[in-house]
Amino acid sequence: MHNPKLTLLARALLAAGYLTGAATAMAQNAETKKDGGIAEVIITAQKVAQPASKTPLALSVMSGEDLKNAGTTDPRSLAEMLPNVEIAQESGMLQVSIRGVTSLDMTEKGDPSAAFHVDGAYVPRYEAQAVAFFDLDRIEVLRGPQGTLYGRNATAGAINLITNKPGKTLAGKVGVEIGNYNTRRLDAMINVPMGEVWAMRAAVNTNKHDTYLNPGPNTIALESQDDQSARLHLLGTFSPTTSLLLTAESSKISGGAASPVPITNFFTGTLIGTLGFSPAGTGNHIKDPVYVDRGRDAQRTAGLAFKQDANSHRDNQADSLRGEFKTRLGAVDLTYQLASMRLRLDQLNNGIYFGFPFTTLNRGSSSALSHELRVNSTGNGPLRWVAGVYAFDEDIDREAAYTTYITAPFGKFNVVLPFMATLANKSKAAFGQATYALRDDTRLTLGVRGTRDRKTGYDPLSGEAAKPPATTSSKAYSQDVEFSNTSWKVGLDHDLRRNVMLYASVSTGYKSGGFNAEADTGVYKPETLTAYEAGVKGRFLDNHLQLSANVFHYAYKDQQLTTTTCRTNDPSTCHSFTANAANSTVDGLEFEGKLKVGDDGMLRGTWAVTDAKFKKYNPSATIDFSGQKLDRAPTSTIGLGYTHRFALANGGEVAATVATRHSTSYYISDPTEGIRYRQPSYHKSDASIGYESPNGTWNVQLFVKNIEDMVKIESRVPGSFFISDPRTFGVRAGYNF
């Protein structure tokens, strides 16, 4: 197996981390400069504003400055800054894995395992999650089940994007990025005060690049990006305790549609020909696969010719309207949040699936409306609490067609699997969480949430075309299922000293059950997770050193696993379905730290160790996954980064950043076939250097990401992988006023 060694950059950063840690240990009692140290970040992870270092949760916070230094402009690169978080893509949609907990059902009937929010508003559809990464104040990532405050579909955790809000000063900025693969990125913002009460902030973003893949024999457009997004905030501040924030957001998601690469680009072994007659050299699976490093060019080659006249495209639209009203009623703060999202899909993916050229058409729309009304305590008394009610209503209409184009030597015919689904998701919940100070340095937290979910669906085709004069197929289905859950949390935290906190908790999470796209594949149950966690957070050396560490154990029940397979040699039996696996356990350790080095340097480090295994899981009578590792759960990841600022004589500043991340191997599997594809251990490094003018009005930055030009497999569809981005480099420039 391929087992890469650390690059010179990685070794240098690891050495720097070791030496810095040793120096820190020796300097615990030494005098330090009184220069303010590392700034505290105020977060809203628990629905109320509080310092990150005083929040008894396993969480990571990336400020706007952190994102700028790291050059983070998309969610997949966000994961490189976090312990125990993997963010991949499949068919243009995000797959978020936190501590080995992942959702692989990317269809309209699937739900994510990590709750994704923008300014507190839940984003239910995968296609709309990647386009909000612009004009951000910070990103909060909560690891572990968040069933009490975030509700259903948060067994893995939660990701909160917090955008910049309007201010009382006229300001603006514009930034451009030019890079390889014909990358063109534009960011612009203007903030306008409108009298004593109102202020407006508008931001736009465009992101475009050519395909990262080598076309091989293809002449059609492969996967690329051409997105445009805009956001408008209008904030009315009527008093120090009363405000109204109105938001409109729109994104056009375009470019060449998703295109995977063949499994044979990475693995060798005996190809298993789907349907018994896949063309030579192709197949749905590889029996006993062995990883082979064929080189970057070969890994990124699209392989066999796709359907050349299939009009591969992506033309999707996501629109949101949000409102947030806040006021104080006596000793209680009241918040009401309303969010409406509409997603329109028109996408045709093109690739090699089941060993043949294969297109996937997705058209339709979805609309979601959510309400959250909550109240929380104010003041400094021993009891602090938050309580609320939540309602979510989503309607989905989706037309899909999966078409395989089979040619010589097997004859020339098409296999079409059509779907025409109408779905509805409804959820209602009531929740509350209270923290009581048992004494000045010790607090007890209790939380509970009750949830009721209902899912309904109807598909007159369900993978089989209707035969005239009938309007429905023999596979037509109608489903109406309901689920309920009570999630809870018990936690205790204690101030060991003024800036050092210990905490421990037991909490639960819940992901709604559902049904599959064909009547005979049935209903699957909700998955639940109980997490036992203990940790420490501290700020040392006059706030020059910030550390957090935690250990956890998961009892994971009825885990929902999704796979795609063919049940017989009839092509119409090829389908994707979700089923409940047996129970799993996850144990781990996480560490994060920041050290201010002198007046001008900042060292950052993360380390995670995870042991995630199926406790007992038999996908079939002949396949046993019991005791094997969960997918997308590397045993260890380590990340190190360093930023240094150089003050210039003219008052300007140069900032240089280097960062590296090393991950041990992980698996991507097909349980129904008993096949596991092992992504070997890898490392990935980034670097940038930038200049900011004396008055801060303009800046320029040179950057390179993925210096090693590493390619890893991120997700699997039958016969193919979606893969990571190649080495990218370019220049960014910005002007502020």
Cβ–Cβ under 8 Å, residues 302 and 257: no
Q: To which residue do tokens 């980064």 refer?
A: 641
Mean pLDDT, range 3-30, rounded to an integer: 41
pLDDT band at 438 (very low <50, low <70, confident <90, very high): very high
Q: Is the pLDDT of residue 548 over 80?
A: yes
Nearest alpha carbon to residue 728 among 252, 179, 215: 179
597 burial level (CB within 10 Å; 0-12, 13-18, 19+): middle
DSSP helix/strand/coil, 351: strand
Closest by CA to 489, choosing from 439, 444, 553, is 444
The predicted model scores a pTM of 0.88
Distances (CA, A) of 429 to 230, 269, 332, 387: 32, 50, 21, 11
Angle at 44 between CA 38 and CA 46, to 5 degrees: 120
**Is residue 733 very low, low, confident or very high in pLDDT (cuts 50, 70, 90)?**
very high
Instruction: Give the pLDDT confidence of 612-636 residue by residue, as tens digits.
Output: 999 888 877 788 888 899 989 999 9
User: What are the tens digits of pLDDT across the range 660-689?
Assistant: 999 999 999 887 778 999 999 999 999 999
Contact at 8 Å (CB) between 314 and 254? yes
Other beta carbons within 10 angstroms of residue 622's beta carbon come to 7
How high is the mean pLDDT of the chain? 86
Asked if residue 31 has pLDDT above 80, the reply is: no
- On the question of pLDDT at 397 being above 50, the answer is yes
**Higher pLDDT among residues 591 and 103, named by residue:** 591
- Place 402 in a pLDDT band, splitting at 50, 70 and 90: confident
Task: Give the separation between CA 376 and CA 334, rounded to whole angstroms.
Answer: 7
The separation between CA 244 and the C-alpha centre of its own chain, rounded to angstroms, equals 29
Higher pLDDT, 482 or 260: 482
**Residue 407 confidence (pLDDT):** 61
User: Distance between terminal CA atoms of the chain?
Assistant: 54
What is the identity of the amino acid at 423? Answer: L
Nearest to 685 by CA among 706, 710, 709: 706
Question: How much helix, strand and coil, in percent to the nearest 5, is found in the chain?
Answer: 5, 60, 35
Are residues 260 and 351 in contact, defined by beta-carbon separation less than 8 angstroms? yes
Label the pairing between strands 114-118 and 157-163. parallel
Q: Report the distance separating Cα 344 and Cα 398, nearest Å.
A: 10
**Closest alpha carbon to 122 in 316, 337, 429:** 337
Beta carbons within 8 Å of 435's beta carbon, 6+ residues apart: 383, 384, 385, 443, 444, 445
What confidence category does residue 6 fall into, taking pLDDT thresholds of 50, 70 and 90? Answer: very low
pLDDT tens, residue by residue, 327-384: 999 999 999 999 999 999 998 887 766 666 778 888 999 999 999 999 999 988 899 9
Q: Are 441 and 494 in contact (CB under 8 A)?
A: yes
User: Cβ atoms within 10 A of the Cβ of 145, count?
Assistant: 30
Q: What is the dihedral of CA 591, 596, 598, 600, to 10 degrees?
A: 130
Q: Which fold has domain 8-165+173-736?
A: Maltoporin; Chain A (2.40.170)
The values of phi and psi at residue 422, to 5°, are -125, 120
d(CA 143, CA 114): 9
Which pLDDT value is given to residue 710?
A: 94
